[in-house]
Amino acid sequence: MGSRDQGAAPGFWTQALTHFRKFAAIDWSGAKGRRHKGIALALCHAGDDAPQLIAPPEGAWSRSQILEWLLAQADEPLLVGIDCSFSAPFVVRGAHLPGETTTASAQELWAYVDSHSSDEDLGAASFLEQRRGRHFYLGAADGPKRDFLHWRACEMADGHATKPTTVYDAIGAAQVAKASFAGMRMLHHLAGRVPVWPFDPLPQNGAVLVEIYTAIAARAAGLPRGRSKLRDAVALDAALTMIGSAPHRPLSRYDDHATDAILAAAWLRTRADRDDLWHPRGLNEKIRYTEGWTFGVS
């Protein structure tokens, strides 16, 4: 699995999948260090039982342990969504990192980021810091922020209504840059072992990984923009009910990471057989090959 031929036939990425019986969502983190309280993993099965958190092996997940968990699920009928960007903009600029990279596919970018990152636990913070002001905005010293605002095609869909952030913006609570480039390192280590949509051929069985944006799940549950974070049991159950899930088992602690993962896993279960999400209108072959797409953006 994992042919990277740009001339692949249309069926390479337009086949819809219906074999999934398990659904997982991962709230991801690009933080420095080896253990990350910002990572949460929730899993549910077909039906309407609420997703449950998968307890980390040692109190908090590492990115490497998430990689190991995904590899262990490779043969399972599992759809997994990860909340980070799987590539950088390419189509509108002709390069992922103009003036630096000659990568012509997302997979080549993953390999480049991995080979140029020395951070522990598949981190990529130093990758961004070494390129601040040139490719990434980390503060006012880097110049006008508007000069760094470039987006992928899926991030411009519906007038930026679905995913307005950019992987070149590495400052502020809403930034996705560190998490996304750390995610690319993990994707590089998954390459050829777990298919990643829409870059790889879709299998008849086994696990598939997709990029998600947890705010899309929150809006599907009726939560307004800017108020999508769930911090108590009542709010989480109300959101789960809106997307057809039974109430959750009580948690020892309610935080954005846990509730985002639980709600996103339940949402993913309801969307897995949506043909329009596997075949989004704006996804052509060039975008698929270089930038990818956020599952849930049609």
Q: What is the pLDDT of residues 100-120, one digit of tens each?
A: 999 999 999 999 999 999 999
Pairing of strands 78-82, 208-211: parallel
Provide the percentage of residues in the chain whose pLDDT is more than 70: 90
Contact residues for 255 (Cβ-Cβ < 8 A; gap 6+): 231
With a cut of 70, say whether residue 10 has pLDDT above it: no
Taken as a whole, the chain contains a residue count of 298
User: Please, are residues 257 and 231 in contact by the beta-carbon 8 Å criterion?
Assistant: no
The answer to whether position 262 is within a domain reads: yes
The answer to whether position 293 is within a domain reads: no
User: Please, are residues 40 and 258 in contact by the beta-carbon 8 Å criterion?
Assistant: yes
Q: Provide the pLDDT for residue 298.
A: 85
The answer to whether position 229 is within a domain reads: yes
The answer to whether position 253 is within a domain reads: yes
Nearest Cα residue to 245 out of 55, 54, 41, 23: 23
Average the pLDDT over 145-157 and give the result: 92
Mean pLDDT in the chain?
Answer: 90
The answer to whether position 208 is within a domain reads: yes
Number of domains composing the chain: 1
Q: Provide the pLDDT for residue 238.
A: 94
Q: Provide the pLDDT for residue 162.
A: 57
Q: Label residue 165 by pLDDT band (50, 70, 90).
A: confident
Q: Provide the pLDDT for residue 12.
A: 47
Nearest Cα residue to 103 out of 289, 298, 296, 292: 289
Provide the percentage of residues in the chain whose pLDDT is more than 90: 74
Average the pLDDT over 131-159 and give the result: 92
Q: Give the torsion sign (CA, 240, 241, 243, 247).
A: positive
The answer to whether position 230 is within a domain reads: yes
Q: Flag the least confident range among 76-85, 99-108, 153-162, 181-190.
A: 153-162
Scored b (16 or more CB within 10 A) or e, 36-57 reads: beebbbbbbeeeeebbbbbebe
User: Please, are residues 77 and 273 in contact by the beta-carbon 8 Å criterion?
Assistant: no
Q: Provide the pLDDT for residue 207.
A: 97
Average the pLDDT over 28-55 and give the result: 94
CA-CA distance, 105 to 124, in Å (whole number)? 19
The answer to whether position 163 is within a domain reads: no
Contact residues for 113 (Cβ-Cβ < 8 A; gap 6+): 124, 127, 181, 184, 185, 188
Helices (H) and strands (E) in the chain, counts: 10, 5
The answer to whether position 175 is within a domain reads: no
Domain containing 198 equals 18-86+191-278
Pairing of strands 40-45, 208-211: unpaired
User: Please, are residues 290 and 91 in contact by the beta-carbon 8 Å criterion?
Assistant: yes
With a cut of 90, say whether residue 222 has pLDDT above it: no
User: Please, are residues 178 and 121 in contact by the beta-carbon 8 Å criterion?
Assistant: no
